[in-house]
Every structure is written in C-alpha cells, then in structure tokens.
Amino acid sequence: MKKIIITLAIALVASISMFAQAPKMAVGVDYNYSSKGGNSGIGLQLEYQLFEHLRVSPEFIYSFEKGDHGHFTNVNINLQYTIGTGSGFTVYPLAGFAYVNAAGDVNKCGANVGCGAEYHFSSKFAIYTEETFQMVSHATRFITGVGVKYSF
C-alpha cells in the first residue's frame, strides 16, 4: 500500500511540474471542403499544448448548404502529435472524436484520423492545412482545411 501511495505522489508531482510552464495556446480560423456532397464551410479551432509534443484541439465547423445535401455542423476533439522539422515548419498526425449534425435531422458520433502541417511566420502567426478522414455512419468523408492561427 505504501508503494502505491508513494508512486501516486511521485506521479502527481511530476505531472504538476510538467504543467508549471506557461501553457501554449492558439486559435485558428479555416476554410473547409467536404468530400461528401462537396460542401464548403468555415471552422474555428483552438489548441492547447498538453505536453512538449502533444496538444488537444477542439474544433467547430459549419459547412454551408449545397444543393439537396444540406448543411453540416461538426464538432471535433482531436489529439495532435507535433513533429518540428526546423525552420518554423511542423507536421502532425491527429486522431479524435467527431460529432456531426447533418441538415438538422442526422446526429451521429464517430472518429477522426488525419494529418496536418503548419508554417510559423513568427512566434504568434502561422498558416496550416489539415486532411481529416471522418468515420461517421452515413456521413463518412474527407475534410480538407486551410487556415491561419494566432498563438498566445
């Protein structure tokens, strides 16, 4: 029992020390194109750095109505593992949870997998692109996004 308590205490101290540094956050705005129905839309993405290479990124996408396919409202929560390649360029695989509301009458949950890349012009501004494969029953699709982000 003592070993378990000591191990938990060490883990708690280690996790607090990892978060003691100033958190790195960013907000991004992007244009999205969906392979299902050819809908395009706008998105808002937040990023919060959890660890050195791991960040969580909640995202909201609204795809405009096109023809009889209707609009999509999309909420994603993705984990991104960042890999810096130098010169301000970063690539990352992503995986996460998806919620899709299609044309107001379809509510589905699913999963996301994909990848992204970003180029930092400065410590505050970057451009980025993402390709996400969204696996949702009756709404499986690829989503391509291109945007700008501001870090603070």
Q: Give the pLDDT confidence of 81-138 residue by residue, as tens digits.
A: 999 988 889 999 999 999 988 776 778 999 999 999 999 999 999 999 999 999 998 7
pTM, rounded to two decimals = 0.81
Structure confidence by residue, pLDDT tens digits, 48-74: 999 999 999 999 999 887 666 567 789
What pLDDT is recorded for position 64? 85
CB-CB contact of 60 with 74 (8 Å): yes
Q: Which residues contact 102 (CB under 8 A, 6 or more apart)?
A: 70, 71, 72, 73, 108, 139
Residues of the chain by 3-state class (helix, strand, coil), percent to 5: 10, 65, 25
